[in-house]
Structure 1
Amino acid sequence: MIAASTPSAAFDHTKYRPVTPVALTDRQWPSRTVTQAPLWASVDLRDGNQALLEPMTVEQKKLMWKLLVKIGLKEIEVGFPSASQLDFDFVRWLIEEDQVPEGVSIQVLVQAREHLIARTYESLIGARDAVVHVYNSTSTVQRERVFEMDREGIKSIAVEGAQLVKDYAARYPETRWVFQYSPESFTSTEMGYAVEVCEAVMDVWQPTPENRCILNLPATVEVGPANHFADQVEYFIKHLRRRDCAIISLHTHNDRGGAAAAAELGLLAGADRIEGTLLGNGERTGNMDLITLAMNLYSQGIDPQLDLSNPDEIIQVYTECTNLPVHPRHPWVGELVYTAFSGSHQDAIRKCLKKQQPDEPWQVAYLPIDPQDLGRDFQAVIRVNSQSGKGGMAFLLERDHGINLPRWMSLELAPHVQKASEQVSGELSSQQIRDILDASFKRESPLNLKGYRLDRDGAEQLTATLVDEHGEQISLAGEGNGAISAFMDAWQRHTGSTVSVVDYGEHALGEGSDAVAVAFVMLNLDGKRVCGMAEDGDTVSASLKAVLSAVNRGLESNARSEAERAEEAAPVSV
């Protein structure tokens, strides 16, 4: 018999205290429903960036900025320019190179100290719209153990900071200023005192319903359950004078794993605005994930006012800029979140999909949304319950042809092999499977690689010559971290389309000097996933040909779709 374990003396729950309930006797948020998207504010380039082991380079910041603008964010916190020369220079680049579109506001963070505020405004000279975000800590533990000040002392820091922010803004009347204040560690601050400090700041700024300030309530550390945070937000709003003069913003962290839930309940409690990061990057366990909350709303029939239809592009930029992986089970956009391995789940999904009508609400078991909304193929959802079929197929290719398929390529090939096996009465040979692989994923038309040149001078610089189906030559040029990255850059420059690598694999066929390289690639081409493969004696050439094969398959699919639409639109002869 195994004896029951006893808790370690070091693992002592009695040294912790539960949060103090909020004195809210008539809470309204439980009976409310969110009906519209909040104002969104990204803090990827500030809060997210400062949490990285290796902060973003200037080029990575520019790449992240372009993505944030592309998906539709209107307020973006771009840094802490008074604390970092890199942040200062990045803000200047945004303004001087006119990189901020009309309708988008840059936001900067600053502590309530005059020399830092002066430096912050210096970075913003010439900005069209800007949010100046000033903060100071207000919690009991910060007051007593960090600053060793009483309530009045902490409040005076907030008031003096607010006055400095207002005074310096007056020196630059050409900019449309919005002031934002955060009582840092709001969740550990006495609620009445949090209201008192924020109202003191409002007394300085004198906002109006037409020119509101932002009061940002940060769960700097998530100290209690999501319902407790909702109570705090509702209490704050109920007791705030001139509520109509303030935008109530939330900035939740994920220490307890509830950042998205706390933000969503905070919206029920009356908040207007949400700060967060893509995929939840941030200090400790991270910030509130903008994608998770936006997709939560989307799944309830609410327009999130953000374009998240191409998560592969978001993930590619995110990983390139942060050097962080995305978990395959990440809510909504993880690689495996719409994949059913269970046979009963597969059967239920298959039956529901057959009955799902295009003009009715989505009703498919195990799938809260249509995966195609996020560019996901249904082949990734329903993996046919014949594991031995896929396993045997991969085994024969490896044993007889030396082809070691990546798992994702095996899953792409499986439906083609299954279709062929259903058309013949008998077993498919390894050569037949190899022929199906080549016929399904090798394409040398309409575009073929004639040659390339790769120069390594810092970044990889690629020039490539393609030949189309008419024999015309096309020259491409681009740069990147490697040959494929440079080719992606060259293709996007030439066509203007959006393309990114979702997955890639290669290996040698055979040994010695006569060995041939085989390459497999999965691209996201304008929001659709498409695979290709190629073989060549040169590894780089095999990689580029595999990419072109996928591109050709994408072009072929587009042409087929256009032909089908034209046929459907053609008049019917009677």
Structure 2
Amino acid sequence: MTSSPFATLSTPAGPVPSQAPSWNRQRASQMPSHRYAAPHDRVEVPLTERAWPTRRLTAAPLWVPVDLRDGNQALAEPMDPARKRRFFELMIAMGYKEIEVGYPSASQTDFDFVRLIADTDLAPADVTIVVFTAARRDLIERTVASIAGIRNPVVIHVYTATAPTWRDVVLGRSRDELRELILTAGADVLDLAGDLPRVRFEFSPEVFNLTEPDYVLDVCDAMTTLWDATPERPVILNLPATVEIATPNVYADQIEYMHRNLERRDGVILSVHPHNDRGTGIACAELAVLAGAQRVEGCIFGNGERTGNVDIATLALNLHAQGVDPMIDFSDIDEIRRTVEYCNGIEVHARHPYVGDLVHTAFSGTHQDAIRKGFAEHRARAAADGVDERDQAWRVPYLPIDPADIGRSYDAVIRVNSQSGKGGMAYLLETGYGIELPRRLQIDFARKVQERTDAGGDELSAADLWQVFEAGYLTTSPQAPALVGYQVDQSITELTLRTGSGTATFRTDGLGPVEALTAALAQAGSRVEVLSLHQTSVGGGTDSDALTLIEYRTAGAGEISWAAGRARSVLEASFAAVLRAADVGR
């Protein structure tokens, strides 16, 4: 257990000194950092021991997407009814069981959408609908009117800001005055909706993370008492990090303090609503669940005011990557992304965790080599264990999850630019054309690709790589030696060659066909020494062409080179490769 909620960072050598060590003497910035208070100067958490650092995430919390309310408010152009419905239908298809659908007292569009749910079968019977309202009776009345006759379970979500700055600057209320306002709103909710079947209540002390712990605990306990929270009809206490101001461990301490000290804890669903002002919303949510939270509100890809709400897709897929069922279906993540982008009018970043176009893509040579070897090892383990590759334990370097889990193909896993290595180039040729390159040819080919990318600076596709390969190893000049005809009869090979000096027929006995061709070329004045020969193919199935790759050395030259030949038969492909070598060596 940690002894202090604000322990200093430490290293094996001890605490970090108050002044930077000699190796870190940096020039002071010109930024006025002194204007901002450290988080422990604002909110001191009275927690001397904590359990969250030793806990592990073993089950998914209840996910509650707020894209249709909180995320919608953050859009330059809020969703029209059609887009709102499409987003809602996406959430249903993904398996969300509780969805905050709007702020019905704030706009006619939101009110009408709640009425649509009430008047139709748009929401399955097991989906809980959450409606949001500020703590004012007229707004609460409008909210209750919006859910009249609804068949689904409903949560009426009431909020009020509680932090000192908001009390002083925004609301102009003391602690006691604000407590009275909150309880009055709670009584209004009870009066207007307390007798409605299948309706429960939720309270959010907005800016919880900047509110004094003793005060927010008192207010929350007063609300659960007023609403008579029980295990049979639990109250949701939602504790937002409305504006992130501290490291995630501080938020975890605040949640654990509430988890330990709340009255009627068995009648409370403890919920969190992290924002992402410091870029640590994901960490705050994960640590909050370790600290006792049971429910997480956020937006599917993190939309929301300022830097956004916590990204609940990333949270869910983080669990998936740890072997924990996220309880939400992300098996077609590209369709989910397309729908969210359409509804929000905001493009998902290419590097966004899991869903971005480039998150499963490697350009770096070392990454590509490791991924290629990882795929090969994965296939080999699956074959050895006699299981399908999709059932085999995943341990491919640089890919925390199998892209196929979320509906991605392997086509874009490795892409080639000027930073790429031989492994990535070979992988693209193999997956795009079925060609397996020997390691030494991979090295030679990488140099040719590097020349192309350095000259153009662009990314190369598998088709581009094939063009480089053709130009570097397959293409011959008009003056190249040509095989006019051949006949192989057991140990006898007869070849008719056309070279610069004319056409001649050569007959050998006891040599293989390739050796016979090199001997014929030597007699014609073109010496080619074949050092190694490799067979592969272009494409797959019965329509594939044979591809022969030869490593060779020409007469008088110490440099070793590569050539390739392509034909319908293996023999003719081998002949073509030798003739290509002779052409280059002329």
TM-score interval (norm. to shorter): 0.5 to 0.7
Residues 190 and 390 of structure 1, relative CA distance in 2, 3 Å threshold: same
Alignment partner for residue 395 of structure 2, among 337, 347, 363? 363
Q: Which residue of 1 aligns with 2:254?
A: 232
Q: Displacement of 1:97 after TM fit?
A: 2.1
Bigger-Rg structure (1/2): 2
Alignment partner for residue 258 of structure 1, among 280, 283, 295? 280
Name the SS for the 1:279 alignment partner: coil
Task: Spell out the pairing of 1:312-351 with structure 2 (5 A cutoff).
Answer: 312-351=334-373
Name the SS for the 2:461 alignment partner: helix
Q: Are the aligned partners of 1:117 and 1:165 in contact in 2 as well (CA < 8 Å)? A: yes
Q: Displacement of 1:349 after TM fit?
A: 0.9
Q: Which residue of 1 aligns with 2:122?
A: 99
Q: Are the aligned partners of 1:82 and 1:116 in contact in 2 as well (CA < 8 Å)? A: yes
Q: Which residue of 1 aligns with 2:474?
A: 426
Alignment partner for residue 219 of structure 1, among 211, 223, 241? 241
2:38 counterpart of 1:15: no
Amino acid in the other structure paired with 2:122:
Q
Q: Which residue of 1 aligns with 2:169?
A: 145
Q: Displacement of 1:389 after TM fit?
A: 7.2
Q: Are the aligned partners of 1:390 and 1:414 in contact in 2 as well (CA < 8 Å)? A: no
Amino acid in the other structure paired with 1:18:
A
Alignment partner for residue 123 of structure 1, among 126, 131, 146? 146
Q: Which residue of 2 aligns with 1:52?
A: 75
Alignment partner for residue 205 of structure 1, among 217, 221, 227? 227
Q: Displacement of 1:7 after TM fit?
A: 3.0
Q: Which residue of 1 aligns with 2:461?
A: 411
Cα distance in 2 between the residues matched to 1:137 and 1:206: 22
Alignment partner for residue 188 of structure 1, among 185, 210, 222? 210
Instruction: Write the deviation string for residues 362-394 of structure 1: whole angstroms up to 9, x where unpaired.
Output: 111111111111222222112333678789999
Cα distance in 1 between the residues matched to 2:164 and 2:75: 29
Name the SS for the 2:270 alignment partner: strand
Q: Displacement of 1:361 after TM fit?
A: 2.1
Amino acid in the other structure paired with 2:159:
Y
Q: Are the aligned partners of 2:64 and 2:96 in contact in 1 as well (CA < 8 Å)? A: yes
Cα distance in 2 between the residues matched to 1:387 and 1:336: 22
Q: Displacement of 1:344 after TM fit?
A: 1.2
Instruction: Write the deviation string for residues 482-510 of structure 1: whole angstroms up to 9, x where unpaired.
Output: xxxxxxxxxxxxxxxxxxxxxxxxxxxxx
Q: Which residue of 2 aligns with 1:378?
A: 410
Name the SS for the 1:157 alignment partner: helix
Task: Spell out the pairing of 1:168-567 with structure 2 (5 A cutoff).
Answer: 168-170=192-194, 173=196, 175-356=197-378, 357=381, 358=389, 359-383=391-415, 384-385=424-425, 411=461, 413=463, 426-427=474-475
Cα distance in 1 between the residues matched to 2:446 and 2:67: 41
Amino acid in the other structure paired with 2:51:
Q
Name the SS for the 2:474 alignment partner: coil
Percent identity for Structure 1 against Structure 2: 46
Q: Displacement of 1:137 after TM fit?
A: 1.0
Q: Which residue of 2 aligns with 1:166?
A: 190
Q: Displacement of 1:68 after TM fit?
A: 0.9
Amino acid in the other structure paired with 2:177:
G
Cα distance in 1 between the residues matched to 2:213 and 2:192: 30
Unaligned segments of structure 1, at least 5 residues: 399-405, 430-574
Instruction: Write the deviation string for residues 151-177 of structure 1: whole angstroms up to 9, x where unpaired.
Output: 111111111111111111145x3x410
Q: Which residue of 1 aligns with 2:61?
A: 38
Name the SS for the 1:77 alignment partner: strand
Q: Displacement of 1:23 after TM fit?
A: 2.1
Q: Are the aligned partners of 2:115 and 2:147 in contact in 1 as well (CA < 8 Å)? A: yes
Q: Are the aligned partners of 1:130 and 1:176 in contact in 2 as well (CA < 8 Å)? A: yes
Cα distance in 1 between the residues matched to 2:448 and 2:159: 60
Instruction: Write the deviation string for residues 399-428 of structure 1: whole angstroms up to 9, x where unpaired.
Output: xxxxxxx97xx636458768x959x96139
2:51 counterpart of 1:28: yes
Name the SS for the 1:379 alignment partner: coil
2:135 counterpart of 1:112: yes
Amino acid in the other structure paired with 1:341:
F
Unaligned segments of structure 2, at least 5 residues: 1-25, 382-388, 416-423, 426-444, 478-586
Q: Which residue of 2 aligns with 1:539?
A: none
Cα distance in 1 between the residues matched to 2:453 and 2:323: 42
Residues 59 and 135 of structure 1, relative CA distance in 2, 3 Å threshold: same
Q: Are the aligned partners of 1:67 and 1:317 in contact in 2 as well (CA < 8 Å)? A: yes
**TM-score, with length taken from structure 1:** 0.68
Q: Are the aligned partners of 2:302 and 2:310 in contact in 1 as well (CA < 8 Å)? A: yes
Q: Displacement of 1:259 after TM fit?
A: 0.6
Q: Displacement of 1:225 after TM fit?
A: 0.8
Cα distance in 2 between the residues matched to 1:15 and 1:264: 30
Residues 223 and 119 of structure 1, relative CA distance in 2, 3 Å threshold: same
Q: Displacement of 1:265 after TM fit?
A: 0.3
CA RMSD, 1 decimal: 2.6
Cα distance in 1 between the residues matched to 2:255 and 2:356: 31
Q: Are the aligned partners of 2:449 and 2:465 in contact in 1 as well (CA < 8 Å)? A: no
Cα distance in 2 between the residues matched to 1:262 and 1:235: 15
- How many residues are matched? 410
2:132 counterpart of 1:132: no
Cα distance in 2 between the residues matched to 1:32 and 1:58: 43
Residues 48 and 198 of structure 1, relative CA distance in 2, 3 Å threshold: same
Amino acid in the other structure paired with 1:221:
V
Instruction: Write the deviation string for residues 12-43 of structure 1: whole angstroms up to 9, x where unpaired.
Output: 00011111142211100000001000001010
**TM-score, with length taken from structure 2:** 0.66
Cα distance in 2 between the residues matched to 1:317 and 1:110: 27
Q: Displacement of 1:254 after TM fit?
A: 0.2
Residues 426 and 249 of structure 1, relative CA distance in 2, 3 Å threshold: same
Cα distance in 2 between the residues matched to 1:416 and 1:380: 16
Q: Are the aligned partners of 1:390 and 1:411 in contact in 2 as well (CA < 8 Å)? A: no
Amino acid in the other structure paired with 1:199:
D
Q: Displacement of 1:230 after TM fit?
A: 0.2
Name the SS for the 1:280 alignment partner: coil
